[in-house]
Amino acid sequence: MNLNDKLAKNYYQPENTAHIVVAGNAQQSALKILLNACPAGLYRMNETGEITFDPNGCLECGTCRIVCHDEAFSLWRYPAAGCGVTFRFG
Ligand code: SF4
């Protein structure tokens, strides 16, 4: 079973608003490390080289916050009760 198959076993309940928001002034060069650091692969580079982020599917591991510190985010919190990831461990 590969990583994507394992991630697909999890259940994710989205919120109406994002629980993690990348700051508008965050350095793109600093965010690039998250392309490989986020275990869910939620940070991606688009065709213009800009780092994009979709919080849906977040594993709530905190890696992005530790790697890029709070300055890179205008909001970083855990999802509200009843929302977010439910691990099913394959
Ligand atoms: S908390 Fe973990 S899974 Fe969620 S966006 Fe950050 S690095 Fe990715």
Integer Cα distance of 85 and 25 in angstroms: 28
Q: Is 64 exposed, middle or buried (0-12, 13-18, 19+ CB in 10 A)?
A: buried
Q: What is the distance between the terminal CA atoms of the chain, rounded to a whole angstrom?
A: 9
Q: What's the CA-to-centroid distance between 74 and ligand 1, angstroms?
A: 15
User: What local confidence, expressed as pLDDT, does residue 38 receive?
Assistant: 96
Q: Is the CB of 64 under 6 A from ligand 1?
A: yes
| The domain over range 3-81 is classified in CATH as 3.30.70.20 | yes
Q: Is the CB of 22 under 6 A from ligand 1?
A: no
Tell me the two tokens of residue 29. Answer: 């060069």
At 18-73, the pLDDT tens digits run 999 999 999 998 899 999 999 999 999 999 999 999 999 999 999 999 999 888 99
